[in-house]
Amino acid sequence: MTAVADRSLGPELARTESIGPDADVLVIGLLSTDDGPAIAAADIFDSALDVATREGLLAALLAVGAKGKAEELTRIPAPDGLGATSVLAVGLGAPDRVDAEQIRTSAGVAARSLAGVGTAVTTLSGLDLGAAAEGFYLGAYTFTTYKSDKSAKPGDQPLQRVEFLVPTADAGAEELTRAQAIAEAVATARDFVNTPPNDLFPAEFADRAAELAGTLGLDVEILDEKHLAEAGFGGIVGVGKGSSRPPRLIRITYSGGDRKVALIGKGITFDTGGISIKPAAGMENMTSDMGGAAAVIATTLVAARLGLPITVTATVPMAENMPSATAQRPGDVLTQYGGTTIEVVNTDAEGRLILADAIVRAGEDDPDYLIDVATLTGAQMVALGTRTPGVMGTEEFRDRVARLSQGVGENAWAMPLPAELRADLNSKIADMANVSPHRWGGMLVAGTYLKEFVPEGVQWAHIDVAGPAYNTGGPFGYTGKGGTGVPVRTLVAVLSDIAGE
């Protein structure tokens, strides 16, 4: 049994060739076949779980009505000598529909149901070790920093340790290390999003990101409000000036190879809307308006941990959008970094203002690829719902990002940037306005705004995760309430794909 890494944010993950002797739960996958339920990937683990034991387990599960439907949970006492106290069967559905995302989802559902449990052992690794590890880790994720003893209940701590059955001692080591690194990156992004806005303001966010980057030996540069004003970052300064907590621009670089990828993430630590103030109902969800920043920071860190043979620079603008006597007004004109003048018609369309500065700055490094991630528009949710990110950009790269995202279960969907929308951003007084005079295609209008700042010839993708970055509904699969970490796994898949070119 080999521990993979120090436990920091989620359960400890390890590989094992046998069950127990002191495990609490054995988690097995149950398929729903034409001939009834069947235990998945069973014969791979003949030595840990022999035929007679499997037949006994299946009979016991049948007796209590288990069907193997996707995500169904059935918990039964373990037979004597198994090495675990109980057995949890998690449904996988029909065999021909079992893909990595189903395994991740079923593992996540199992992990969520095992709060209060010490050690689980699982055979789901026989189907897809990486997906099972991601699902267990993310399903067991909880954010308890702000829970005092007053709300602590016995047995409410998350699953502590998961052991993945492997056929031989050396099998799966690399796969588990990679899956754990990716899952930890998702958890890092979730932690940032879940940290409340009174504690995570621009300077603090930048310092926390710099500290994580420092432990990995990455290059870090932080521009404070004075530097930002001097260097002409008019978008970041304009959005930040209503707050007593001034804005920042942080740049983190991991140098691993010749090909250069620029990542940009929207880091609005809280979005009141500014003078164009939002309604009170639901405003608390605007703590998630730095979800894009959280994702690109976490991704840059994991690119370094995985040693990808590319260079990744995260350029992350951070500001708090507040109304006050010093706030920018609707009607103000600001100058984006690089010189474009903007009429700020609506102070609530602030994300594009800070992103445009960051995109121009990132473009100065001559990246081959540029990806920006933002909780940018409510229109993203109108178009695609709460779980499907919209991806826009240069067509080929946009489609590649969407395909890779669908491959990891984050399911970004390609959207167009219709040329006629550009004229809707014309301003009488400045080079451009920050909003269109109508409400149609709001996600695409925001993408059209950003397009103006992307250098010619760069492969570009803009990912709008307004809904997907933050789960305000109930838990599902491997996703709990609050920060989801979307689209970290998409970004890791894209960087890995670029690294393999």
CA 123, CA 106: separation in Å to the nearest integer?
12
Which position among 12, 128, 350, 410 is part of the footprint of ligand BES (CB under 6 A)?
350
372 is a site residue for Mn ion (CB under 5 A) = no
CA 51, CA 49: separation in Å to the nearest integer?
7
Stretch that binds Zn ion, among 135-143, 248-256, 261-269, 362-370 (CB under 5 A): 261-269
Binders of Zn ion among residues 285 to 304 (CB under 5 A) are 289
Least CB distance to ligand BES at residue 183 (A): 24
Which position among 23, 103, 349, 359 is part of the footprint of ligand BES (CB under 6 A)?
349
Contacts of residue 200, Cβ cutoff 8 Å, sequence gap at least 6? 192, 208, 269, 290
Which position among 274, 351, 393, 483 is part of the footprint of Zn ion (CB under 5 A)?
351
Which position among 72, 134, 175, 289 is part of the footprint of ligand BES (CB under 6 A)?
289
H/E stretch holding 232 reads none
What does the block give as tokens for 13? 């993950």
Contacts of residue 289, Cβ cutoff 8 Å, sequence gap at least 6? 266, 268, 269, 270, 271, 321, 351, 375
Q: Which residue shows structure tokens 């894009």? A: 292
Nearest to 27 by CA among 164, 175, 145: 164
Phi, psi of 374 (to 5 degrees): -155, 145
Was 271 annotated as part of a binding site?
Answer: yes
Q: Which residue shows structure tokens 């710099």? A: 210
271 is a site residue for ligand BES (CB under 6 A) = yes
Which position among 12, 191, 271, 372 is part of the footprint of Zn ion (CB under 5 A)?
271
Q: How does strand 260-265 pair with strand 311-321?
A: parallel
Binders of ligand BES among residues 463 to 482 (CB under 6 A) are 466
425 is a site residue for ligand BES (CB under 6 A) = no
Which position among 175, 225, 271, 372 is part of the footprint of Mn ion (CB under 5 A)?
271
Nearest 5°: the CA angle 149, 153, 154 is 115
Was 289 annotated as part of a binding site?
Answer: yes
Least CB distance to ligand BES at residue 470 (A): 7
* Residue of 278, 387, 403, 451 marked active site: 278
State how far the alpha carbon of 194 is from the alpha carbons of 5, 48, 242, in Å. 24, 40, 23
343 is a site residue for ligand BES (CB under 6 A) = no
379 is a site residue for ligand BES (CB under 6 A) = yes
97 annotated active-site: no
State how far the alpha carbon of 184 is from the alpha carbons of 138, 160, 180, 181, 312, in Å. 8, 15, 6, 5, 19
Contacts of residue 402, Cβ cutoff 8 Å, sequence gap at least 6? 391, 412, 413, 414
Break the chain down into helix, strand, coil percent, rounded to 5: 35, 25, 40
Q: What is the DSSP letter of 475?
A: -
Reduced to 3 states (helix: H, G, I; strand: E, B; else coil), residue 29 is strand
CA 254, CA 427: separation in Å to the nearest integer?
39
Reduced to 3 states (helix: H, G, I; strand: E, B; else coil), residue 497 is helix
Least CB distance to Mn ion at residue 281 (A): 15
118 is a site residue for ligand BES (CB under 6 A) = no
Stretch that binds ligand BES, among 130-138, 149-157, 191-199, 348-356 (CB under 6 A): 348-356
Closer to Zn ion at the Cβ: 369 or 470?
Answer: 470
Stretch that binds ligand BES, among 26-34, 240-248, 343-351, 354-362 (CB under 6 A): 343-351
348 is a site residue for Mn ion (CB under 5 A) = yes
Stretch that binds Mn ion, among 297-305, 343-351, 377-385, 469-477 (CB under 5 A): 343-351
Least CB distance to ligand BES at residue 238 (A): 14
346 is a site residue for ligand BES (CB under 6 A) = yes
439 annotated active-site: no
Burial of residue 310, with CB atoms counted within 10 A of its CB: 0-12 exposed, 13-18 middle, 19 or more buried: buried
The answer to whether 161 touches 117, Cβ cutoff 8 Å, is no
Least CB distance to Zn ion at residue 197 (A): 12
265 is a site residue for Zn ion (CB under 5 A) = no
Closer to Mn ion at the Cβ: 225 or 350?
Answer: 350
* Residue of 15, 251, 352, 400 marked active site: 352
Phi, psi of 187 (to 5 degrees): -65, -35
H/E stretch holding 447 reads helix 442-451
Q: Which does 195 bind (CB under 5 to 8 A by kind): Mn ion, Zn ion, ligand BES, none?
A: none
Closer to ligand BES at the Cβ: 128 or 464?
Answer: 464
Least CB distance to Mn ion at residue 453 (A): 18
Closer to Zn ion at the Cβ: 291 or 351?
Answer: 351
What does the block give as tokens for 410? 């984050």
Least CB distance to Zn ion at residue 202 (A): 14
Residues at the site binding ligand BES, with contacts judged by CB under 6 A: 271, 289, 346, 348-351, 375-379, 435, 442, 466
The annotated binding site for Mn(2+) is made up of 266, 271, 289, 348, 350
Residues at the site binding Mn ion, with contacts judged by CB under 5 A: 271, 348, 350
The annotated binding site is made up of 266, 271, 289, 348, 350
Residues at the site binding Zn ion, with contacts judged by CB under 5 A: 268, 271, 289, 351
Residues with catalytic roles: 278, 352
